[in-house]
Every structure is written in structure tokens, then in C-alpha cells.
Amino acid sequence: MTIEVTVRRPRVFSGVQPSGTLHLGNYLGALRRWVELQDEKENYFCIVDMHAITMRQDPIELRRSTREVAALYLACGLDPQRSTIFVQSQVRAHAEGCWILNCVTPLGWLERMTQFKTKAKHRESVVLGLLDYPVLQAADILLYDAEEVPVGEDQKQHIELTRNIAQRFNHRFGDTFTLPQAVIPASGARIRALNDPMKKMSKSEAHVRGHAVQLLDTPDVIRAVIRRAVTDSGREIQFSDAQEKAGVNNLLEIYELLTAQRRDVIEEHFAGKGYGMLKKDLAEVVVEALRPIRKHYDALIADSAELDSILAAGADRARAVAEPKIEEIKRKVGFIVPQDTT
């Protein structure tokens, strides 16, 4: 007698907000790593439009940006046959899961979130959704029983919170959720703003001149933005954790990630050369890395019907996992689930 054992590949969930054009930080901290995982893991990559509306969005622009992010996912190498690619608002279980998790999450946990504090600062009025953002994120991840969440460093605190919410729910209602791990890369976890290395490169600031290289920037724009990148008054081109070297270190990390060269080889290559040479070489490396993405993107975005149908198929696949899970959650908290007799 032979016994067949099916081993489930580790599940991965991650997402990007369609809140602007993606930048090099999103690519190096998230997308590029997702592409590398495609064959070893079972992947769910979401375009989190419900998260995007926690900040004011123009409706027409949001729809455009959602398709743009979808096309960029594909252009960067995500394959809809191997990864489930979908839009969050097309799978209702995310909103339902968020509500139920809201009812086990203490308010104090959310008020402590650094991202909330930063975004709420200096605003006259803050919408409730902004405070609730991490609970929706917890629902996103927990609905798929994802073991791994590949993200940049900025999301570490939110993933910790997801684990705390899951533990609290499991404790109260019995074992329901897998506890996810944030998977944060050693290099590229926090690509810094080119105009201010003390800040992270961020979509919400990408409109500020010189802040970011956007994935759809032309070669000339890329060269100009990198040429203007803030460094320091020194000359040494070496990897360093020192705060005053954050600008140069950022440029070197981008170079390292895109060329896959060892740090000592890179330092040797730039020994005795000035920052101008580093910027010039880096600009060409970035231009060449983004060229095929931009070309592929142009072809994909031209056919929005095809894109929408890829997303609809992705949502069907996501629902096949999320719907049984939300029913399990509803049963646990005491809701009557149609067709249940207990």
C-alpha cells in the first residue's frame, strides 16, 4: 500500500497600495523578491486598494493606479499562472475579516503604531480607516494562513501586530490562524529617499523632486535624479552604517542589489573615484535594470481588458481560499453561516 502525502508549499502573502507610481524601494524591498519566490512558494500578491483609500484618493486616479500597479507586477516578472495576483476590494472576505478582527483588537495597540503616528501628525482631521489600517492588513494575511510576508522594514511593526491579533483570536476562539513571519531582506529593506537619506523612499512623497526613482521614469529622468542624490562632503566610497554616510551607503546598496556583486568587489571598483563616478555608474545600472520593465509595462497597460481579466481570474483563485476561511472565522465567533446546522 502506498500512502500519498501532499505537502503544502509555504504560503506567502504581500501587497502594494495603488497610491502612486511604484519606486525603486518598492521594487528592491518587495516586488523583485516576490518574483524570486514564485516557484518555491504558494503566492498571493494583492493590490491593496482598500488600504490606499485610508488617504484621500481621486476615484479616477485610483482606478488608473490600480491597473498601473497590476501591470507593473506583471512587468517585473510575476506570472499569473504561478502567483495569485488580485485586487483586495474584489474579495469581500478582507472587509469582513477586518471587522471581526477589529472586535478583538484593543485600541491602544493601534494608537502605538509608528506609521499611524507619522501619518496622523500635523493633520487637522484623521479618518478612522487610517488607524484601522493594520487590522485590515492582519485580515489580508490571516485569511490566507500565510506563513511568510516578504516586506520592507517599514512593515515590521504591522506584522508583529498581526501575530498579536492572531494569537488573541486563537486564544479566545481556538486554533484558527497561522502565525505569519515578516521576511525582511538583509539588504534593500529600507531604500532611502535620494533627496533626504534620513527618510525612506516613499510613494506618497514620490512627487517631490529628486525624492525617488520611479519604475516608469525615462532614462534621462533617472540619470538626473541620481545625479542630484544627497550624499556628504567626504570622498570614501564604502558601505557604512554611520548616519552621515547614509546617502552614499544607500547608493551602494542599490548598486549591490542590481549588480549582485560582492561588497568588497564594489568597494574596490570605486576605490579612489569620487561620488560623481558612483552616481554615473549607478544611473546606468538602474537605467538598464528598469528598461525591460518599462518596455513590458507599455505593452501590458495598452490592453486594460486583458489586465482586468487577469485580475478577475486572480480574485476567483483568492476567493477559493479566503471564503472558506472567513466562514470558519464566522462560525468560531458565533455567526450563523448559511447551510450550517450546528
Tell me the catalytic residues. Answer: 119, 200, 203
C-alpha cell at 314: 486572480
Q: What is the 3-class SS of 17-67, one letter each residue?
A: CCCCCCEHHHHHHHHHHHHHHCCCCEEEEEECHHHHCCCCCCHHHHHHHHH
Give the span between the Cα atoms of 187 and 210, in whole angstroms. 22
The kind and range of the H/E element at 87 are: strand 83-87
Per CB under 6 A, the segment of 11-19, 38-46, 175-183, 233-241 that binds ligand AQP is 11-19
Which is nearer to ligand AQP, 54 or 105 (by Cβ)?
54
Under the criterion CB under 6 A, does residue 114 sit at the interface with ligand AQP?
A: no
Which is nearer to ligand AQP, 74 or 151 (by Cβ)?
151
Which is nearer to ligand AQP, 69 or 101 (by Cβ)?
69
| Residue 151 DSSP symbol | -
Under the criterion CB under 6 A, does residue 202 sit at the interface with ligand AQP?
A: yes
Cβ neighbours of residue 239 under 8 Å, at least 6 residues apart? 249, 252, 253, 256, 263, 266, 267
Under the criterion CB under 6 A, does residue 87 sit at the interface with ligand AQP?
A: no
Under the criterion CB under 6 A, does residue 151 sit at the interface with ligand AQP?
A: yes
Under the criterion CB under 6 A, does residue 16 sit at the interface with ligand AQP?
A: yes
How many other C-beta atoms can be found within 10 angstroms of the C-beta atom of residue 129? Answer: 15
Under the criterion CB under 6 A, does residue 98 sit at the interface with ligand AQP?
A: no
Give the span between the Cα atoms of 186 and 183, in whole angstroms. 10
Q: Do 180 and 147 touch, CB atoms closer than 8 A? A: yes
Under the criterion CB under 6 A, does residue 203 sit at the interface with ligand AQP?
A: yes
Per CB under 6 A, the segment of 24-32, 82-90, 106-114, 326-334 that binds ligand AQP is 24-32
Which is nearer to ligand AQP, 46 or 142 (by Cβ)?
46
Under the criterion CB under 6 A, does residue 29 sit at the interface with ligand AQP?
A: yes
Give the span between the Cα atoms of 23 and 200, in whole angstroms. 11
Per CB under 6 A, the segment of 26-34, 275-283, 286-294, 296-304 that binds ligand AQP is 26-34
Under the criterion CB under 6 A, does residue 154 sit at the interface with ligand AQP?
A: yes
With CB atoms as reference, the residue minimizing the distance to ligand AQP is 29
C-alpha cell at 307: 489586465
Angle between helices 275-301 and 304-333 (to 10 degrees): 90
Which is nearer to ligand AQP, 203 or 223 (by Cβ)?
203
Under the criterion CB under 6 A, does residue 249 sit at the interface with ligand AQP?
A: no
Q: Where are the beta strands (DSSP E) in 140-189?
A: 148-150, 181-183
Instruction: Mark 176-195 with x for binding to ligand AQP (rule: CB under 6 A) and - for no binding.
Output: -------------xxx----
Applying CB under 6 A, the residues found at the interface with ligand AQP are 14, 16-17, 19, 25-26, 29-30, 115, 151-152, 154-155, 189-191, 200-204
